[in-house]
Structure 1
Amino acid sequence: MRNQPAQSLQPLIGGILTALILLIAFNAFVIINPGQAGVLSILGKARDGALLEGIHFKPPLISAVDVYDVTVQKFEVPAQSSTKDLQDLSASFAINFRLDPIQVVDIRREQGTLQNVVSKVIAPQTQESFKIAAARRTVEEAITKRSELKEDFDNALNDRLEKYGIIVLDTSVVDLAFSPEFAKAVEDKQIAEQRAQRAVYVAQEASQQAQAEINRAKGKAEAQRLLAETLKAQGGELVLQKEAIEAWREGGARMPNVLVMGGESPGVPFLFNLKDVQGSVMQ
């Protein structure tokens, strides 16, 4: 009878031991998925050699595995600097990067988590890289030669982050801003340029009008010269005919019904209205 309780506990103890064995067995392996890399730590000390995708053994109960995402990460980092002409310039950069799977052990030892990588490495190195790029040019050059500014920034950032096991894939300038004083100066310059362009246009228009007046004067002078030559060739009588006709036009008289030219050669025209003559005859 005394052996019955002991015998009834044996299946329970066996089940517990089996569960413990299974738990330890499952805990002795870790699976690293694609896009991940692991760091094995035994009794709190990181072991050399990153765990890449696949299944890996780890000592149960005394070890742990820190898994890092090594796919592309994106963060926006603000930065401020002074340009070559001592103007304040601020920017915001979108940085696409990933952790080097081979160097995740060093990242684990030196930085710890991915959040620490961003706050303690990427953010300050972005600031320093922007200072290097901005100090090489004036604020106006930073705006007009934005691609060159970005190229200098990329080169500086790549050199600085590479030694931390961070691979920069791409960067983009999300925002580029300058001081209100410079913005006002740019606005004033644009207004002055517009006014200067307007003044050039007005001057060109006046020059064209003056040239047109000169051309008209030349044409009128040429016409008068030709007229003078014609009158000279015909004697002086054509001058009298022309002056008589112009005098009649300027006086506002009605168009005459009859124009009589005296003599065989042209002379001074004799103008009269045929209706007036007819009226005198009928009387």
Structure 2
Amino acid sequence: MNRQTTNISSLIAAIVTAFIVFIGLNSFVIINPGQTGVLSILGKAQDQPLLEGIHFKPPVISAVDVYDVTVQKFEVPAQSSTKDLQDLSASFAINFRLDPVKVVEIRRTQGTLQNIVAKIIAPQTQESFKIAAAKRTVEEAITKRSELKEDFDNALNSRLDKYGIIVLDTSVVDLAFSPEFAKAVEDKQIAEQRSQRAVYIAKEAEQEAQADINRAKGRAEAQRLLAETLKAQGGDLVLQKEAIEAWRNGGSQMPKVLVMGGDSKNSVPFLFNLNDVAN
């Protein structure tokens, strides 16, 4: 009898000890750096968030939801129409974190992080992209991509801030437009290249024509100067000899007899057989 009583007492003591250990282990929670907890007692979230450290919580009747408040990154697709009614699609990489002070409100209104992304960040990204895209044409969205992103960032920040979501950075991963517009852009580029080529050829021809004019002017001036020099040094006979030499060197068939001269008062008649000159 005593042995049975002893066994029962030992069992009770073991149960009590186990219960105390269980209560002790479930009476405290440790919140690590980069985390924030929300304490719920009997299903009701308490007003004060649990920041990093060790915290007491009523055992059995309480639970703690832990949220990661470090930087999170998600890629969110979005589609919109531009001011000129062209389809434009994009994919945004969004870096954000939860505001530790507002985690309790997030827990009450949104629940888990997956809900936050699906129910808040994704639709607000879509709406923010629509706002930014509607301000410009599709061509402006492409050529002024930084301005598109700036408008998108401003719209997204203002929309997510009230939910306790802090946007740290966004980037446009991909920006695409309809195949029809892509073909139009390609055709426009080809036309511009052809136009630039035509302008280049026209300028090249103009420069070549001007070069010919300049060369002709140069030759005429050189001949004039040469003629003046020859007249000063040798008179008309020297000019006649230079003309014959130029004719012969040019490869033309020369006549048997050539008469050159001017007014008999100013120059001597020049009559000779060109075969003699050739020999």
State the Cα distance separating 1:246 from its structure 2 match.
Answer: 4.2
Residues 124/251 of structure 1: CA separation in 2 closer, same or farther (3 Å cut): closer
Give the aligned partner of residue 98 of structure 2.
Answer: 99
Q: Which amino acid aligns with 2:78?
A: A
Give the superposition deviation at 1:180: 0.6
Deviations 1:172-210 (A, max 9, x none): 110011111111111111111111111111011100110
Q: Is the 8 A contact 1:241 1:268 kept in 2?
A: no
Could you say if the C-alpha distance between residues 266 and 9 of structure 1 is closer, same or farther in structure 2, counting changes exceeding 3 Å? Answer: farther
Task: For residue 223 of structure 1, report the CA deviation from its aligned partner.
Answer: 3.6
Closer, same or farther in 2 for the Cα pair 1:218/1:30, shift >3 Å? same
Report the equivalent of 2:215: 216
Counterpart contact for 1:77–1:95, Cα < 8 Å: yes
Q: How many residues align?
A: 263
Residue 241 (structure 1) aligns with: 241
Post-superposition shift, 1:247?
A: 4.7
Is the Cα–Cα contact under 8 Å of residues 39 and 62 in structure 2 kept in the other structure? yes
Name structure 2 gaps, 5 residues minimum. 255-267
Contact 1:28 1:57 in 2 (8 A): yes
Q: Which residue in the other structure is 2:200 paired with?
A: 201
Structure 2 residue identity aligned to 1:39: V
Contact 2:80 2:129 (8 Å CA) reproduced: yes
Q: How does 1:95-174 map to 2 (within 5 A)?
A: 95-174=94-173
Query: Following the alignment from structure 1 to structure 2, what is the Cα–Cα distance between the partners of residues 196 and 20?
Result: 88
User: Helix, strand or coil for the counterpart of 1:84?
Assistant: coil
CA displacement at 1:67 relative to structure 2: 0.6
**Aligned equivalents of 2:247 and 2:133: distance in 1?**
82
Q: 3-state SS of the aligned residue for 2:22? A: helix
TM-score where L is the length of structure 1: 0.85
Cα root mean square deviation, aligned: 2.5
The gaps in structure 1 that reach 5 residues or longer are: 254-264, 277-283
Between the aligned residues of both structures, percent identity stands at 74
Query: Do the aligned residues in 2 keep the contact of 1:244 with 1:268 (CA within 8 Å)?
Result: no
Deviation at 1:137, TM superposition (A): 0.9
Report deviation, 1:161: 0.3
Does 1:4 pair with 2:3?
A: yes
The structural deviation recorded for 1:272 is 6.8
Distance 1:156 1:248, change over 3 A: closer
Cα offset, 1:40, TM superposition: 0.7
Q: What secondary structure sits across from 1:65 in the alignment?
A: strand
Provide the C-alpha distance between the structure 1 equivalents of 2:146 and 2:204, rounded to a whole number of angstroms. Answer: 39
C-alpha displacement of 1:148: 0.9
1:77 match? 76
Structure 1 position 252, deviation (Å): 6.6
> Deviation of residue 85 (structure 1)?
1.0
Instruction: Output the CA distance in 2 between the equivalents of 1:132 and 1:166.
Output: 20
Give the equivalent residue in structure 1 for 2:28: 29
2:260 corresponds in structure 1 to: none
